[in-house]
Amino acid sequence: MTSDRRVRVPRSPSPSEVGFALGEETQDPGTEAGSGLSRRSFIVGAAATLGTGAVLAACGGDSDETEAGGAAEGGGDLGEVTFGSNYSDEKPKEALAAAVATTGLDVAINTVDHNTYQENFNTYVQQPDDIMAWFAGYRMRAFASRGVVGDISDVWSDQLSGMSEGFKSASTGLDGSQYFVPFYFYAWGIHYRKSLFEENGYEIPTTWDDFKALCDTMQADGLVPLCAANDGGWPQMGMFDMINLRVNGYDYHVSLMGGNEDWTSPEVKEVFAKWNEILPYYQPDANGRTWQDAANALGDKSAGMYLLGNFVTSNFDGDTQQDIIDDIDFFLFPEINSEHGQDAIEAPIDGFMMAASPANEAGAKALLGGMGQPAAADAYIGVDPSVVAAVSGADTGSYNALQNKAAELVGGSKFIAQFLDRDTDPDFAANVVGKAIADFLADPGSIDSVLATVEEQKSTYTFE
Amino acid sequence: MKPPRLTPARVLLQGFLITVAVAWLLPVATAVYSSFRYYEADTQVNGVFSLPTALTLDNYRDAWAVGEMSKTFGNTAFIVLPALFFTLLLASVVAYACTRYSWRFNIAFLILFTAGNLMPQQVLFQPLFQMLKRTPWPDLLSDTDTGSLLGTKIAVILIHVAFQIGFCTFVLANYMKTIPTELSEAAAIDGASVPRQFFSVILPLTRPALAALGTLEFTWLYNDFFWGAVLLNQGNERPITSSIAVLNGQYATDFNLIAAASIVIALPTLIVYLALQRHFIAGLTLGSTKG
């Protein structure tokens, strides 16, 4: 049975849905299993082994809400802050409570199961807690521009010095103010096998021409240069995003995703023209392949490179395929237009927002600032080591190589995109753009009519 | 007694009935069976229909703890019992007034109430949501401190009562029509006031209908997930049906754990059904014929 590995909805996974497959040296001492644990076995293990005790401790007897950090004295004068959380699985729930405790504030955590939380967010935000767990990018901007979440620019200027420029832009609404505090993320990049590159003397390509030359070499060596999957309609959105970010830059990308650009423009056509240049290097018939199936080609070294999120490693079994997990590394998508270089990366971010008019504004801002500190990230990672913290200065001692690389590349990026289906209206992404990409892959020659259809259907969606 | 003759038609019929019965029972039996097995070590590897490597009660223990069922059961009781009481009380009052007395609008009034049955509840979600949000409610009377009815269990009770009154009125009205008018007349002649006639004469006679409705309504209210999920935005306020949602893991789902939780959650309705089976079946046909 592999169904548990699939993401249930045809949507790219949230950072909270997937974790980094952990190396042996970073396994969590609290669980019983032997070698490296994927998040999958992690959560189930947690439910099975420490279920009872942890939960009973977490709900705190008669008290209706989880009290965290009540013991610390520092924040007592700010009063109680309420915190809406979708960290409903055992590990994340415990980890979040640990992170909240580092702020020293009196916080009541309202945990709602993640699925209901996400589906009900529209109504929940009308009677929200002081701060709420949510996602960066368009999903945050949509609520920010409707005025239902609070401006926290002062938290950024006063307390969040540890966040890179890229994280700040990903937390910024259309009006230029900040509405979001990033907590953790995973990155999209071109994944490859270190050993394969070493054996064949391949160099990491940094420009488009180098990239295509490497693909040619791989083909000559009998490899499929690029793993390609598009089952569910979302995996190839990553390729569109990356080429668009490299060709037209981050600002154009945001504007295009916001519904403000013409999909039949020369800019967009250029993206597909560039894409067409590398289609010969693809695994054939990408549309029907699951990302896991494509990852297997990376696993058996029949393919060379794979543009996907870091969760690609979770396709491999922590017990029997640890060597593969440890052998996977990734690099930035190559430069196409020197004006933009390699300044942008895709990294879906989970984090927190503040209610438009929180009951305890001072407390909410203190809590948001506190959650953006290395100490909070460290406490979280101490319980759930399968994530990468957004804040620089977090203790990276428990990271494996891939986590370190993700922290380094994303931390050094000027712009962080959130992935197509979370950077625009989700329905527009799935029903219009996703379909257009599938049509393009099936018949690259039809791109003009495909884009005309996108532009036509775009008018039926309202963008924020 | 001679066994019935084996004709082809009979074989066909029996074969069909057995197939349907098995198809009906198989999912339930599988759920019960799965709930006693380990998931990662057993079911996931060997498949749902394999022999177990070991049987365990761990799933039940974990489901109870992780689903926080002691709390959610309490929430459900807090919602369902008052809702049930007020629904039956108010519906019987309306049914009484509309069927035992002849006044200008009694039929129109009855139609208004019973027509509510036809309305899909979800349609009214937005207006109700906004109404509740704008209705001030003292924090003293709720444990959510929101200042409005929205987010309180009281709101869910009110909505349940409002939606269920329609069906209950319909059923009780049909039942009360079968009670001879002479009884009320005799009571009136003996000097019983209208409330007295209602509480001492009509209501006791309506008891079979009330019992049947009570069991039906209990299962309906108990099984509600929608209103509990959309109106109660504090995880701690949610009813028992939300416990399954909590067990649905973000990345991995332990289906045996969910099977165990489902069985625990189904138990109260099963118990109510078994204890009041007679009324339950009567309830299904109540209102289908006019006396």
pLDDT at site A464: 67
Q: Are strands A66-68 and A415-417 parallel, antiparallel or unpaired?
A: unpaired
pLDDT score of A5 more than 50? no
Q: Looking at residues A203-209, what average pLDDT do you find?
A: 96
**In a 3-state reduction of DSSP, which class is residue A66?**
strand
Per-residue DSSP letter, A282: B
**Domain total for chain A?**
2
Distance in angstroms (rounded) separating the CA atoms of residues A22 and A28: 9
Task: With respect to residue A415, please indicate whether it lies within any of the assigned structural domains.
Answer: no
Residue A120 sits in the same domain as residue A231:
no
Distance in angstroms (rounded) separating the CA atoms of residues B201 and B203: 6
Are B245 and A1 an interchain contact pair (Cβ–Cβ within 8 Å)? no
With 0-12 / 13-18 / 19 or more C-beta atoms within 10 angstroms meaning exposed / middle / buried, residue B115 is: exposed
If one counts every other C-beta atom within 10 angstroms of the C-beta of residue B118, the result is 7
Q: What is the dihedral of CA B41, B47, B48, B54, to 10 degrees?
A: -40
- Enclosing domain of residue A447: 188-346+425-458
How far the first Cα of chain B sits from its last, in Å, is 40
Distance in angstroms (rounded) separating the CA atoms of residues A298 and A400: 19
Q: Are strands A224-226 and A388-389 parallel, antiparallel or unpaired?
A: unpaired
Distance in angstroms (rounded) separating the CA atoms of residues A144 and A177: 9
Residue A308 sits in the same domain as residue A257:
yes
pLDDT digits (tens, 9 = 90+) for A371-409: 999 999 999 988 888 789 998 888 888 888 889 999 999
Q: Which residue, among B75, B251, B255, would best test binding to A if mutated, counting the most A CBs under 10 Å from its CB?
A: B251
Binding-face residues of A in 229-258 toward B, CB within 8 A: none
Are A116 and B245 an interchain contact pair (Cβ–Cβ within 8 Å)? yes
CATH superfamily of B64-285: MetI-like (1.10.3720.10)
Residue A300 sits in the same domain as residue A393:
no
Q: Please indicate if any CB of chain B lies within 8 Å of the CB of A4.
A: yes
Residue of chain B nearest A125, judged by CA positions? B233
Does an H or E element contain B48, and which?
none
Are A48 and B230 an interchain contact pair (Cβ–Cβ within 8 Å)? no
Ordered DSSP codes for B193-212 = -HHHIIIIIIHHHTHHHHHH
Distance in angstroms (rounded) separating the CA atoms of residues A452 and A186: 33
pLDDT at site A141: 87
Distance in angstroms (rounded) separating the CA atoms of residues A404 and A318: 18
Residue A308 sits in the same domain as residue A319:
yes
Q: Where are the domains of chain B?
A: 1-29, 64-285
**A/B interface, count of CB pairs below 8 Å:** 99
Distance in angstroms (rounded) separating the CA atoms of residues A196 and A207: 20
Q: H helices of chain B, where?
A: 8-35, 44-46, 58-66, 69-100, 106-115, 125-134, 153-177, 181-189, 194-196, 203-205, 207-222, 226-231, 242-247, 255-275, 277-285
pLDDT digits (tens, 9 = 90+) for A245-289: 999 999 999 899 989 999 999 999 999 999 999 999 999 999 999
Q: Read off the amino acid at residue A148.
A: V
Report the complex ipTM.
0.70
Choose the closest CB to A52 out of B65, B71, B246: B65
Residue A105 sits in the same domain as residue A230:
no
Distance in angstroms (rounded) separating the CA atoms of residues A349 and A342: 19
Candidates A142, A78, A72, A83; CA nearest to A108 is A83
* C-beta separation of B236 from A60 below 8 A: no
Q: Residue with structure tokens 């949507």?
A: A11
* C-beta separation of B61 from B254 below 8 A: no
pLDDT score of A221 more than 80? yes
Residue A322 sits in the same domain as residue A358:
no
Candidates B255, B225, B256, B227; CA nearest to B243 is B225
Q: Please indicate if any CB of chain B lies within 8 Å of the CB of A56.
A: yes
Per-residue DSSP letter, B42: I
Q: CA-CA distances (angstroms) from residue A294 to A172, A191, A278, A283, A311? A: 35, 12, 17, 8, 13
Lowest mean pLDDT among A48-57, A71-80, A424-433: A48-57
Q: Residue with structure tokens 């349609």?
A: B123
Can you give the CATH number for the domain in which A383 is found?
Answer: 3.40.190.10
Distance in angstroms (rounded) separating the CA atoms of residues A125 and A143: 9
Are A47 and B66 an interchain contact pair (Cβ–Cβ within 8 Å)? yes
Q: Please indicate if any CB of chain A lies within 8 Å of the CB of B148.
A: yes
Q: CA-CA distances (angstroms) from residue A423 to A144, A241, A258, A259? A: 14, 10, 8, 11
* B143 contacts in chain A (CB < 8 Å): 64
pLDDT digits (tens, 9 = 90+) for A144-180: 988 889 999 999 999 998 888 889 988 998 889 999 9
pLDDT score of A334 more than 60? yes
pLDDT score of A341 more than 90? yes
Task: With respect to residue A157, please indicate whether it lies within any of the assigned structural domains.
Answer: yes
pLDDT at site B234: 83
Binding-face residues of B in 201-260 toward A, CB within 8 A: 229-230, 233-236, 238, 242, 245-246, 248-254, 257
Q: Looking at residues A230-236, what average pLDDT do you find?
A: 90
Q: Please indicate if any CB of chain B lies within 8 Å of the CB of A35.
A: no
pLDDT digits (tens, 9 = 90+) for A417-455: 999 988 888 789 888 999 999 999 999 999 999 999 999
How far the first Cα of chain A sits from its last, in Å, is 40
Per-residue DSSP letter, A102: T
* C-beta separation of B176 from B100 below 8 A: yes
pLDDT at site B288: 54
Radius of gyration of chain A (CA): 22
Measure A40 CA to nearest chain B CA, in Å.
6
Kindly report the length of chain B.
Answer: 291
* B56 contacts in chain A (CB < 8 Å): none
Candidates A360, A68, A342; CA nearest to A187 is A342
Residue A192 sits in the same domain as residue A76:
no
Residue A180 sits in the same domain as residue A267:
no
Residues of chain B with pLDDT under 50: 290-291
Residue A355 sits in the same domain as residue A326:
no
If one counts every other C-beta atom within 10 angstroms of the C-beta of residue A374, the result is 15
Kindly report the length of chain A.
Answer: 464
Ordered DSSP codes for B88-119 = HHHHHHHHHHHHHS--TTHHHHHHHHHHGGGS
pLDDT at site A42: 37
pLDDT digits (tens, 9 = 90+) for B203-254: 988 888 888 888 889 989 998 888 888 888 888 888 988 888 878 765 567 7
Are A123 and B129 an interchain contact pair (Cβ–Cβ within 8 Å)? yes
Q: Please enumerate, as own/partner, the contacts of B179-185 that have beta carbons within 8 Å and a separation of 24 or more.
A: B179/B205, B179/B206, B181/B100, B184/B100
When pLDDT is cut at 50, 70 and 90, the band that residue A29 belongs to is very low
Does an H or E element contain A408, and which?
helix A401-411
Q: Please indicate if any CB of chain B lies within 8 Å of the CB of A127.
A: yes
pLDDT at site A127: 84
Distance in angstroms (rounded) separating the CA atoms of residues B231 and B122: 12
Backbone angles phi, psi at A344, to 5 degrees: -125, 150
Measure B53 CA to nearest chain A CA, in Å.
17
The partner residues of A245 in beta bridges, in order of sequence, read none
Q: Please enumerate, as own/partner, the contacts of A375-379 that have beta carbons within 8 Å and a separation of 24 or more.
A: A375/A102, A376/A99, A376/A100, A376/A102, A376/A103, A377/A99, A377/A183, A377/A184, A378/A102, A379/A95, A379/A98, A379/A99, A379/A101, A379/A102
Residue A216 sits in the same domain as residue A93:
no
The first and second tokens of residue A274, run together, are 């560039």
Q: Please indicate if any CB of chain A lies within 8 Å of the CB of B81.
A: no
Task: With respect to residue A410, please indicate whether it lies within any of the assigned structural domains.
Answer: no
Distance in angstroms (rounded) separating the CA atoms of residues A358 and A368: 12
Candidates B227, B267, B221, B264; CA nearest to B67 is B264
Task: With respect to residue A411, please indicate whether it lies within any of the assigned structural domains.
Answer: no
pLDDT at site B276: 79
Distance in angstroms (rounded) separating the CA atoms of residues A271 and A275: 6
Choose the closest CB to B248 out of A64, A115, A123: A115
Distance in angstroms (rounded) separating the CA atoms of residues B272 and B250: 34
Q: Residue with structure tokens 């409707």?
A: A146
* B234 contacts in chain A (CB < 8 Å): 65, 110, 112
Half-sphere exposure of B194 (CA within 13 A, CB side): 5
Residue A141 sits in the same domain as residue A287:
no
Are A43 and B249 an interchain contact pair (Cβ–Cβ within 8 Å)? yes
Choose the closest CB to A113 out of B47, B245, B252: B245
Residue A331 sits in the same domain as residue A281:
yes
Distance in angstroms (rounded) separating the CA atoms of residues A14 and B250: 10
Distance in angstroms (rounded) separating the CA atoms of residues B7 and B25: 27
